[in-house]
Amino acid sequence: MMKNKGFTLIELLVVIAVIGLLAAITLFSLDGIKSKSRDARRVADIKSIEEGLAMYQNNHQFYPIFDDYITGSDTMSESLKNDGGINGVPADPINDIMGGVTYKYHYTSADGRDYLIEYYLETDSTQGHSAGLNTSWP
């Protein structure tokens, strides 16, 4: 009597289904980790920009007058870099429109007396900040 050595079609399909399920779970969990990581970077970036603005204000007694998105090469960023308060002004990790949300830092100062920075977070993972639009001012 001869015995077949090998796997049946059912056994192979079950193994492939389990591997596919594990791969899907891994991909979804990695996406959440990436979002949380980008949010942590955004909060750190805003703090860095605020420190550069504070040094600029200390040197000039006013904030840069500017109303647009922070790209790192805009006039406000160049003013901070030229002042020596910051080496490079960071841009949002995505720095694009995704899902109808503009993931870019927006700086507004009409008269130089104060400023407003607006930025979006993807998750509620950062303590003291919520998902969606967040603002920062002096």
* 76-80 mean pLDDT: 95
One-letter amino acid for residue 10 of the chain: I
In a domain, 53, yes or no: yes
In a domain, 64, yes or no: yes
Smallest Cα–Cα separation from 76: which of 22, 116, 39, 28? Answer: 116
Q: How many domains does the chain have?
A: 1
What pLDDT was estimated at residue 2? 61
CA angle 80–52–114, rounded 5-degree value: 90
Look up residue 117 and give its two tokens. 């920075």
Whether the full predicted model's pTM is greater than 0.75, yes or no, is yes
C-alpha 8: how far from its chain's center?
A: 48
In a domain, 4, yes or no: no
In a domain, 61, yes or no: yes
Question: pLDDT tens digits for 33-54?
Answer: 889 999 999 999 999 999 999 9
Question: pLDDT tens digits for 90-104?
Answer: 999 999 999 999 999
What pLDDT was estimated at residue 62? 97
In a domain, 3, yes or no: no
133 DSSP β-pair partners: 120
pLDDT of 3 higher than 90: no
Look up residue 133 and give its two tokens. 């639009």
In a domain, 108, yes or no: yes
Please give the residue range of the domain that contains residue 82: 10-136
In a domain, 1, yes or no: no
In a domain, 2, yes or no: no
Contact between residue 67 and residue 107 where contact means Cβ atoms under 8 Å apart: yes
